[in-house]
Amino acid sequence: MNLAEIRADFPILERRIGDRPLIYFDNAATTHKPRQVLETIQAFYTTYNANIHRSPHRLGQEATELYDDARRNVARFIGAEWPEEVIFVRGATEGINLVAYSLALGGSRRLRPGDEVVVTVMEHHSNLVIWQKVRDWCGVTLKVVDIREDGTLDMRQMREAITARTRLVCCTHVSNVLGTINPVQETGELAHRASALFLVDGAQSVPHLPVNVREIGCDFLAFSGHKMLAPMGIGALYGRRDLLEEMSPFLYGGGMVADVSLEEAVWNALPWKFEGGTPNVCGAVALGGATDRRTGRHLEGAVDYLARLGMEAVRAHERALTARALEGLRAIEGVRVYGPLDPEQRSGVVAFSVAWSDAHLVAQLLNDEGVAVRSGEHCGFPLAGRLAVEGTVRASFYVYNTMDEVERFIEALDDIVRHKLL
C-alpha cells in the first residue's frame, strides 16, 4: 500500500496537537473518514436526498436504488450469499440486540428456561449485557468461557461448555482489548455440532481482516461502519436467510410492514421487515458505496476503499505495525502488554499498563505528545477483572498509520516512563 497516497485521503491527519503532528492510535474506538467517503456524504445530500421505497418521484427512486446497491456491495464484501441477508442497523450493538430480542421474545422463541447461551470473558459489553438480560427474561443459563494466560480463548473449556442444552454461542472474532483473533470457524463447528446457533461480533474483524461469513460458517455476524472508514450511526447485521425469515422484527412501524389493519399487521419481506422507520440511507451509501444507474456516477463507500486496498494487504500492514509495537513496548521498564505476543494471533490492538501509574494519566501524557490512545476498561469490565487491572492503555492501528508513528509512540512512552512516571 502507498501510505503517502492513503494518508493524503484523510484530511484530519493534517491536524496538530499543540505543536506536534497528530498520531491517531484510537482506531478500535472509531476510524477517520477518507475524502472519498466524505464526498459521497456530500453528494448524497446535495443530489439524491429523499426517503426511500415509498416515493415515486425521481429523487425517491434514485435514493432507493443507491440504498439497495449499497446493500449488495456490503453483502459481497462479507461473502453473504444473498443481499437480503444484510440488515442495515446503527452498529454492531443494535445488530446483536436485534438477534437477542427476536430469539428471546419474538415469534420463534428459540430461547426457553433451561436452555444455555455460551459467551466468552473477552466479550465487549455489546455482546454480554444483552445476554444477561435474556437470562433474566427467559430463564436461560449463561455460561462464560475463560481465556488462557496468553490471552487466547480456552478452546478446551469451550468444548466443555457447549452441551446438548446449548442453543446459542456468541463469540467476538477479535477482542477489542487483547487483540486476540479467535478461532471462530472451529467455534462455529462446535456450536453446530450441538445444533446451536452461532453469533459472531465482527466489529473488530470486518474492518481489519478478510472476513467471509460462509467460510466462517456463522449464523449471524454484526459490525459497525464507523470502525471501517464509514460514518457513525450505520452498520450491518448478517443473518442466514432461513433464520431471518422465521425471526420476528425488532423495530415496529413504517416500512417493515406489508399490510396493516386495526387488528393486525403483516410483516414485509426481507430485509425490510427488520428496518422499521426511515433508515440511514446516506450512511448505508457511505458504507457500501453505490452507483447511479442513470448517469453511471459511482459514490465511493468505505467498502470500496478497503476493497481497493485489499483486505490481505490491510491485515499485513497492521501485522507489521503490531509486531514493532509489541517489541518496543516490551522493552520499556514497567510496561506490561496484554494478549498474545505473536502478531499472527492478534490484530492491530495493543493494550498495556505501566506498573506504577494510572492508565488515564499515561494516556493524557501521551496526548501531550500528540499521540491519541484510549484508556480504561474499553467496555470490557469482566475482562479487566479477569486480568486483575483497573484499566489499560490501548493503542490501535489502521490503514493510514505508519511505522514512523509507531516509533515516535514508543519513544514518547519510553520518555514518559523514565522522566515523568518514575
Asked if residue 318 lies in contact with residue 208, where contact means CB atoms within 8 angstroms, the answer is yes
In whole angstroms, give the CA distance from residue 78 to residue 290: 16
- Judging by DSSP bridges, how do beta strands 141-145 and 116-120 pair with one another? parallel
Chain centroid to CA 254: how far? Answer: 28
Does the fold of domain 37-302 match that of domain 3-30+311-421? no
pLDDT tens-digit map of 162-214: 999 999 999 999 999 999 999 999 999 999 999 999 999 999 999 999 999 99
In whole angstroms, give the CA distance from residue 229 to residue 145: 32
The number of helices, as runs of H, and strands, as runs of E, in the chain is 15, 19
Alpha carbon distances (Å) from 154 to 168, 279, 346, 381: 18, 40, 15, 19
pLDDT category, 422, cuts 50, 70, 90?
low
pLDDT at 356: 83
Residue listed under C-alpha cell 498520531: 23
In whole angstroms, give the CA distance from residue 389 to residue 391: 5
In whole angstroms, give the CA distance from residue 300 to residue 40: 6
DSSP 108: T
Whole-number CA gyration radius for the chain? 22
The grid coordinates of residue 296 equal 453511471
**Residues of the chain with pLDDT > 70: what percent?**
100
* The overall pTM is greater than 0.85: yes
Q: What is the largest CA-CA distance in the chain?
A: 72
Please choose, from the candidates 105, 86, 116, 40, the residue with its C-alpha nearest in 3D space to the C-alpha of residue 292.
40
For residue 107, pLDDT over 90 is answered with no
Residue listed under C-alpha cell 428459540: 110
Concerning whether 379 is annotated as a catalytic residue, the answer is: yes
In the CATH scheme, what is the code of domain 37-302? 3.40.640.10
Mean predicted confidence (pLDDT) in 355-379:
95
Which CATH code of 3.40.710.10, 3.90.1150.10, 3.40.50.410, 3.30.420.10 fits the domain covering 3-30+311-421? 3.90.1150.10
At residue 282, φ and ψ (nearest 5 deg) are -60, -45
For residue 108, pLDDT over 80 is answered with no
Q: 54: Cβ–Cβ under 8 A, 6 or more apart, which residues?
A: 60, 255
In whole angstroms, give the CA distance from residue 271 to residue 396: 34
Please choose, from the candidates 368, 384, 388, the residue with its C-alpha nearest in 3D space to the C-alpha of residue 376.
384
In whole angstroms, give the CA distance from residue 392 to residue 359: 5
pLDDT at 36: 98
pLDDT at 109: 77
> What's the one-letter identity of residue 417?
V
Give me the chain's average pLDDT, please: 96
pLDDT category, 159, cuts 50, 70, 90?
very high
Extents of the domains making up the chain: 3-30+311-421, 37-302
Residue listed under C-alpha cell 493534517: 14
